[in-house]
Amino acid sequence: MRSVARVVLCVVCAVPAVLAQAPPRVEELRERATAYVEDFLTRFSQLVCEERMVQESTSLPSVSGSGTNAKMDAPTPGKRDIRSDYLFVRRQATEDWITFRDAFEVNGRPVRDRGDRLVKLLANPSLENEALARRLMLESTRHLLNPGLRSVNDPLLVLVFLQNRYQARFRYTRGARDRKAGDDVWIVNYREQEWPSIIRVGGGDALSRGRLWIDGPTGRVLKSELQVGTSLVATTFAWDPAFGLALPVEMRDDYSVGRTDYRATATYSRFRRFGVSTSEKVQDK
């Protein structure tokens, strides 16, 4: 009789522990992440940092000549090492966020005096001038191995998707817990459901999908993945107590164009707050 009582007692005591470990609903994770992201985007837009992007390319061999003169030509792999000032700013006219990269060094050689164009941007951070905004965006890509405007090589793009204005476009499902990323970090899968798509590839619609690593109690996004077209972009974030944010530390960007594969790894450092003085000098605070 005593042994039966002990068994019943053990079962009763185990119930609260099981309930305490019940996984959060995906709606809870999404809501917490959205609250975190809304604050993150506003505060991050007051920062500037340094981005170092190492990009490499490999192409499939091609055949030249014909008959007995035919030969296989192996393209030379490409590599580009680009250091830029990185900014993330909002255009007040559209409420859209855009990325601005101002390259100051390519393959170890300076390409401009640091701070001159950055000051002009900071003096008008809303970028209400659409022509100026487009020129700056194109300028930020001209040093890449495949020059041209790409809209996905942005470490913060997936965070933008979590804003309230975009959430209805996506379907979210909860995946497994990732204890390697943290004690209570959950993977949330997302998939865009509505046309036209947010991102366009080659002039056409391309629905986005991917994964988010969300810290359950705080809503912090610790990692993001985005798949769209041939691109796979993954960003890793790390908590910075000085700024009170999980800042991007690395972005990997893999994609293909025709017969060429591109791989890029970008790292982020030297985060600082900015301001513009009347003498038009960037002030690190």
Q: What is the pLDDT of residues 1-45, one digit of tens each?
A: 445 455 544 544 544 544 456 889 999 999 999 999 999 998 998
How high is the mean pLDDT of the chain?
Answer: 82
Residue 138 has pLDDT above 70, yes or no: yes
User: Residue 64 is encoded by which pair of tokens?
Assistant: 């030249």
A 10 A CB-CB count for 5 gives: 9
Q: What is the DSSP string of 108-176?
A: TEE-S-TTHHHHHHHHSTT---HHHHHHHHHHTTTTSSS-S--SS--TTHHHHHTSHHHHTTEEEEEEE
Predicted confidence band of residue 276 (pLDDT cuts 50, 70, 90): very low
Rounded average pLDDT over 161-187: 94
Residue 111's pLDDT is what?
Answer: 84
Q: Please write the tens of the pLDDT for every residue from 69-125.
A: 656 666 677 899 999 989 888 766 566 787 888 888 999 999 876 656 666 666 665
**Residues whose CB is less than 8 angstroms from the CB of residue 4 and which lie 6 or more positions away in sequence, other chains included:** none
Element (H, E) at 33: helix 26-44
Buried b / exposed e over 16-29, threshold 16 CB at 10 Å, is eeeeeeeebebeeb
79-88, 114-123, 168-177, 209-218, range with the lowest pLDDT: 114-123
User: Rounded to a whole number, what is the distance in angstroms from the first to the last CA of the chain?
Assistant: 72
Cis peptide before 125 (omega within 30 of 0): no
User: Which residue would you say has higher pLDDT here, 207 or 274?
Assistant: 207
33-47, 55-69, 172-186, 209-223, range with the lowest pLDDT: 55-69
What is the C-alpha to C-alpha distance for residues 68 and 65, in angstroms, rounded to an integer?
8
Q: What is the DSSP string of 239-257?
A: EETTTTEEEEEEEEEEEEE
What is the C-alpha to C-alpha distance for residues 52 and 84, in angstroms, rounded to an integer?
6
Residue 278's pLDDT is what?
Answer: 36
Rounded average pLDDT over 182-201: 93
148-162, 164-178, 184-198, range with the lowest pLDDT: 148-162
Q: Please choose, from the candidates 158, 189, 157, 156, the residue with its C-alpha nearest in 3D space to the C-alpha of residue 175.
A: 189
Predicted confidence band of residue 172 (pLDDT cuts 50, 70, 90): very high
Q: Please write the tens of the pLDDT for every residue from 247-259.
A: 999 999 999 988 8
The angle at the Cα of 192, spanning 186 to 197, to the nearest 5 degrees, equals 145
Residue 210 has pLDDT above 50, yes or no: yes
Residue 142's pLDDT is what?
Answer: 81
Rounded average pLDDT over 232-239: 97
Torsion of CA 197, 55, 146, 83, to 10 degrees: 90
Rounded average pLDDT over 132-161: 79
Rounded average pLDDT over 195-210: 89
